[in-house]
Structure 1
Amino acid sequence: MSAPSFSLVGLGPIINRWKYFVAGAVALAAVVSVVVALLLPNQYRSTAVFIPTNPQTADPDRLLDQDKEMGTRLELGGRAEDLDRVITIGESQPVADVVIKKFDLYKHYHAGAPGTDAADNYVLSEFSSNLSIVHNERDAIELTFIDKDKQLAAAVANAMVRAIDSVNQQLTLENRRTVLALYRQRYEYLSTSFERSRRELVGARRRYGIFGLEMQGRYLAKQLIETEAALRKAEASGGDVAGLKRSLRGLTRADAGNLINLESYVAGTDSLAMFTTRVTDLQTRLIAARSAYETAELSIKGRLSSVYLVQKAYPATKKFKPVRSLIVLGSVLLTFALSVVFIALLELYRYNRPGAMRPA
């Protein structure tokens, strides 16, 4: 004998025979789901949006790059490594522990006293399930926290951003201190070199009697021309030739006693030019090094933020879940479907039971 076949059309008479059972089950499910949905607390969601900055732009770690901005301008991140680092920090247990202790979430989640494995695991699990940190399509980080207390949800989200910022700064703080020490050493070295070169320049000026290369060269040329012209006139007219020769010797020879003379000027020109160039260069580098050191010191002491906060978390104005109508509707439809399956299987069992009446 061939097995009987069932179709959706054939379910109509079966449902009609069991309509009171199905109606009762659906009504009971509706009542229970309404009660459960009403007992479920409202959950609120608060989201903070921020962009990680490039930590290299906040660190004074480019000692040789003196012609560029060194840590004075924060560059927004968006780099994969910055985004991954921030998400990893936000999902780490140390950050979670800081926030859990700050807001006493053991009491809020009714987990009991902290310190036991069961309480710690329960609170950490609840906290992690309510926290979401994602990288959106605009290369920003969205940090979301869900809780039945809308004020607490916003406060936890903002606290998480601050905790992430603090840990992110700590990752580079030790390196920044080391680099700051290098900046200080560089400034001290240039300061010592500048002072030594300046003293050498002053000593060379005294030794050669040169106090201004350009003006002194013009003075010597003028005096030599005038003295030599006067000497030629004196030789022609019988004037004070000896005195003019002594004056000319004093202007040209270093051993003649004149402080300013051509021999010393010529001998000291190259040395003075080299010393002057050296001192000028060291002075420029010293000023730049001092400025860089002060900027680096300010950067470390000022604790520049490593994240750019686009939007802080605010208390939600409407609940996120539960969707009570969806719960009731889903429960009713599920109960109806299960009831139909149950009565269909029951009818099939009765039909195939030994001794049951079958149609000819």
Structure 2
Amino acid sequence: MSFLVAVVTAAISLLLPNYYRSTTVFVAANPNLARPEIFFGKNNLGADLYGSDTDIDRILAIAESNELIDHLVDSFDLYTHYRINAQNPKASYRVRMRFRKLYEVKKTKFNVLELSVEDRDPELAAAIANAARELVNLIGEGLVKSGQKATLKSYEANILNKSAQVIVLGDSLAKIRARFQIYNTAAQSEDLTEQLVETQSFFYRQKGRLESMRANPRISRDSVAYTEALVNGLEQEMDSINLKMSLLNEGQVLLSVLETQYFSANGQLGEDLERAKLLQAAYSAVVPSIILVEAAEVPVVKIRPKRSILVITAGMLAFLMSVLAILLFHAYRNIEWRLIFKER
């Protein structure tokens, strides 16, 4: 009996198709490698080449996503390959479920990722595995690029605002300088102070001389009148210098505030421009999201079915069932089953 079951099982197992498994191995890369300060060596600390557990989980999520599976289904025409009617309303669900049964991504104890694909065609299994790995890399790169793009847009918008602010502050500075006639605060303040000291000194000398001339009747009226005119002119000149100094002091306060704002905004604008250049360069660069360890190769040995195991298992089960049947038969052979059923 066991031999017969084993023979039948062997015959049936021969009808089962052979499946081949192809595996590609890779590790998650550190997404911080795409940061400008690290990419261009601006950070002395640097960054690890390999990703953390969080990065590995992200790559696993990408590898198991419907986006990746749908792309593989379309690329390799798996509807036709799996003999699924694409017009069926549940076709997308069925092809995904069929593919997931033949597709596996796992993390090993060494934090290495293994992506495996099974198929009847060994060459197709290897092609799908390699394509899946490349697609994982592309989607991972896309996630990093989308973050970089959002940051870059933020910097570009900030640069536009800062540029407009610098222009407005520059115009305000020009107007303040024109209004208060301020061009070089330190030099003008020094010049006006010297002029005022010299004019005041000359004024007081001439004023004392005028008083002496008035007290002396022998001085002619023309000389006195000339000195009076000179003193009045010096007084007007002092008033003019004081007015200029007052305007300078008044404008200097406004100018100091505006200059502080202008240079601060201009400095921030320069930093943002430099940062935007680095971001743009990093955005244009290619930084992989995974690091290849081993590409998938065309398998030469089938992964299943294990026919010998099937035959041995079936034979053992048949033998055990036969033994159990014999034991039951011997245990209940002396029972009068007809009498029992008649009494009921």
CA deviation vs aligned residue, 1:13-53 (integer Å, no higher than 9, x gap)? xxxxxxxx76x5598479x37x9479753512223434376
**Are 1:332 and 2:305 an aligned pair?**
no
Indicate conservation of the 8 Å contact 2:25/2:292, yes or no. yes
Q: CA deviation at 1:280?
A: 0.7
- Aligned counterpart, 2:71: 98
Partner SS for 1:95? helix
Distance 1:42 1:112 in 2: 19
**Are 1:45 and 2:22 an aligned pair?**
yes
**Are 1:265 and 2:242 an aligned pair?**
no
Distance 2:231 2:25 in 1: 91
Q: CA deviation at 1:209?
A: 2.2
Q: CA deviation at 1:92?
A: 3.9
- Aligned counterpart, 1:108: 81
Change (3 A) 1:108 1:221: same
Q: TM-score, normalised by structure 1?
A: 0.61
Q: Which has the higher contact order (CA 8 A, sep 6+)?
A: 2
**Are 1:276 and 2:263 an aligned pair?**
no
Q: CA deviation at 1:346?
A: 3.6
Partner SS for 2:174? helix
2:158 to 186, 199, 210: 186
Indicate conservation of the 8 Å contact 1:89/1:164, yes or no. yes
- Aligned counterpart, 1:322: 303
Indicate conservation of the 8 Å contact 2:20/2:301, yes or no. yes
1:196 to 165, 168, 176: 168
Distance 1:204 1:140 in 2: 66
- Aligned counterpart, 1:310: 291
**Which residue identity is paired with 2:74?**
K
Q: TM-score, normalised by structure 2?
A: 0.63
Partner SS for 2:296? coil
Q: CA deviation at 1:99?
A: 1.1
Change (3 A) 1:202 1:255: same
**Which residue identity is paired with 1:100?**
V
**Which residue identity is paired with 1:93?**
N
Q: How many corresponding residue pairs?
A: 310
Partner SS for 2:118? strand
CA deviation vs aligned residue, 1:104-147 (integer Å, no higher than 9, x gap)? 123333x1553235865553333111112334556665433233
CA RMSD between the two structures: 5.2
Indicate conservation of the 8 Å contact 1:78/1:140, yes or no. no
Distance 1:219 1:36 in 2: 108
- Aligned counterpart, 2:329: 349
- Aligned counterpart, 1:61: none
- Structure 2 residue runs without a partner (length 5+): 36-41, 211-225, 336-344
Distance 1:136 1:245 in 2: 100
Distance 2:110 2:316 in 1: 45
Indicate conservation of the 8 Å contact 2:140/2:289, yes or no. no
Indicate conservation of the 8 Å contact 1:227/1:244, yes or no. no
Any residues of structure 2 matched to 1:11-22 within 5 Å, and which?
none
CA deviation vs aligned residue, 1:72-108 (integer Å, no higher than 9, x gap)? x99976465x665654454343432221111112333
Distance 1:250 1:154 in 2: 97
Indicate conservation of the 8 Å contact 1:42/1:321, yes or no. yes
**Which residue identity is paired with 2:295?**
Y
Change (3 A) 1:168 1:115: farther
CA deviation vs aligned residue, 1:204-252 (integer Å, no higher than 9, x gap)? 21222221223333444455556666777888999x9877985796476
Bigger proportion of residues as helix: 2
Partner SS for 1:49? strand
**Which residue identity is paired with 2:66?**
Q
Distance 1:150 1:248 in 2: 107
